[in-house]
Amino acid sequence: MFVSLSLLFALSERLPFFFLPFLFVLLLGLGLLVMSNYRFRKFRKISLRSLSLKSFEAFKWEKVFNRTLLESEKAIPNLLQILQARLKFHLSLSPDPVSLLAIFGLGRLKARDTVEHLVEFVKTKQVPVAEHVAAIWALGEIGDQKAIPALIPFLGDFRSVLFGFYETKMAFMKGIGLAKEEFRERCRWQVCDWAEEALMKLSPKIVTLFRKVVEEQDRDALFELAKEYRSETIAALTGLLDGRQRDWVFNAVWALKELRAVDALPKLRRLAKIAGSPLREYCQKVIAELEEFSRLPRAVGGR
């Protein structure tokens, strides 16, 4: 930082006066970036030491994980510390075996006190999909009903899970306790499949109702589901619009119309531009109805 200040004074003699504020902001930003990187490395070093696992010792994953599970509740604070570090410094685009270790450990230990942290984690978009999926699994394994609203939107998430390196694959196999054949099968799963499995552990009825909506256009099932989880149901249905199952997409458009989901209009407009007939015409009809509904005074149009 002292170098930056000396550089600032040196340049101030040569640059026009109005350039100085921009130069100062640039140097300040560089300084903050260096400090944040230092804090991330320091926190990560502490977390790794707490589990005796360094990045270059990933091949010892199973031994470390089993030792962590043997510590039972005593291990939970350390595992939570790693999860919180990942939430605060989610800078890596690839799955982190240490974060996966922490998440699977919390799930296997059924750490109910960490549910809110795991819910926050699944709602954080910047973390890799594989870690989202791990947290979804952990929430299902813990079995706390408070996780249900956070999981429902993922029923419409058709993203594939890229496991990447060997360490990540081993983390999933050993963390969940999967044989090779079971893991190969799950490699074909999408995020919605993991969410459905987790919700089946928490509330099978929700999965049944959602399937009736997207497979059968069951209006009773739709309003029974939306009675308690309206915004979450709309989020899941909106996600389905990106899917490739034509019938499900059509039924999702129908369900959004029935719920008068005005918030889904931007996604419906995009779908109408790329969809073929007859889905395109149906989307346009639904868009017109929702736009008309959105213009009604709230006292008249509210449900």
60/191 same-domain check = yes
Q: What is the pLDDT of residues 39-93, one digit of tens each?
A: 334 334 434 444 444 443 545 667 778 888 888 889 999 999 989 888 887 656 6
Whether 214 is covered by a domain: the verdict is no
Taking Cα atoms as reference points, which of 167, 161, 164 lies closest to residue 187? Answer: 161
Taking Cα atoms as reference points, which of 59, 70, 122, 131 lies closest to residue 95? Answer: 131
107/179 same-domain check = yes
Is 217 in a helix, a strand, or coil?
coil
> How is residue 13 annotated by DSSP?
T
Angstrom distance (rounded) from CA 32 to CA 39:
11
Whether 211 is covered by a domain: the verdict is no
Overall average pLDDT of the 208-216 stretch = 97
Evaluate the omega torsion of the peptide bond into residue 278 and state whether it is cis, within 30 degrees of 0.
Answer: yes
Overall average pLDDT of the 202-218 stretch = 97
Whether 257 is covered by a domain: the verdict is yes
17/141 same-domain check = no
157: left (phi over 0), alpha (psi -120 to 50) or beta: beta
Angstrom distance (rounded) from CA 180 to CA 197:
19
Angstrom distance (rounded) from CA 165 to CA 94:
9
Angstrom distance (rounded) from CA 163 to CA 172:
9
89/189 same-domain check = yes
Angstrom distance (rounded) from CA 172 to CA 161:
12
230/196 same-domain check = no
How long, in residues, is the chain? 303
Whether 215 is covered by a domain: the verdict is no
- 128/238: higher pLDDT: 238
- 95/61: higher pLDDT: 95
Give me the residue label for tokens 């429902």: 152
Q: For the chain, what percent of residues have pLDDT higher than 70?
A: 77
The pLDDT value given to residue 178: 84
145/82 same-domain check = yes
Token couple for 118: 């795991």
Q: Is-contact 249 243, C-beta < 8 A?
A: yes
Whether 207 is covered by a domain: the verdict is no
33/57 same-domain check = no
The pLDDT value given to residue 130: 92
228/167 same-domain check = no
Overall average pLDDT of the 88-107 stretch = 82
DSSP3 helix / strand / coil % (the chain, rounded to 5): 80, 0, 20
Whether 131 is covered by a domain: the verdict is yes
Domain boundary among 142, 174, 202: 202
Q: Is-contact 100 131, C-beta < 8 A?
A: yes
The pLDDT value given to residue 272: 94
73/161 same-domain check = yes
29/104 same-domain check = no
The pLDDT value given to residue 46: 36
Domain boundary among 175, 202, 229: 202
Tally of domains in the chain: 3
Residue 145 has pLDDT above 70, yes or no: yes
Q: Is-contact 206 148, C-beta < 8 A?
A: yes
Residue 238 has pLDDT above 50, yes or no: yes
Domain boundary among 202, 237, 255: 202
Residue 211, exposed/middle/buried by CB under 10 A (0-12, 13-18, 19+)? middle
Whether 195 is covered by a domain: the verdict is yes
19/61 same-domain check = no
Q: For the chain, what percent of residues have pLDDT higher than 90?
A: 53
Overall average pLDDT of the 278-294 stretch = 95
The pLDDT value given to residue 11: 47
- 25/172: higher pLDDT: 172
The pLDDT value given to residue 3: 44
Domain range for 122 is 52-202
159/189 same-domain check = yes
Angstrom distance (rounded) from CA 89 to CA 236:
28
Amino acid at 127: V
Whether 171 is covered by a domain: the verdict is yes
Q: Is-contact 285 268, C-beta < 8 A?
A: no
Angstrom distance (rounded) from CA 5 to CA 280:
60
Q: What is the pLDDT of residues 166-205, one digit of tens each?
A: 778 888 888 898 888 888 899 899 999 999 999 999 999 9
Question: Helices 76-88 and 115-122, interaxial angle, to 10°?
Answer: 30
Q: How confident is the model at residue 302 (pLDDT cuts 50, 70, 90)?
A: very low
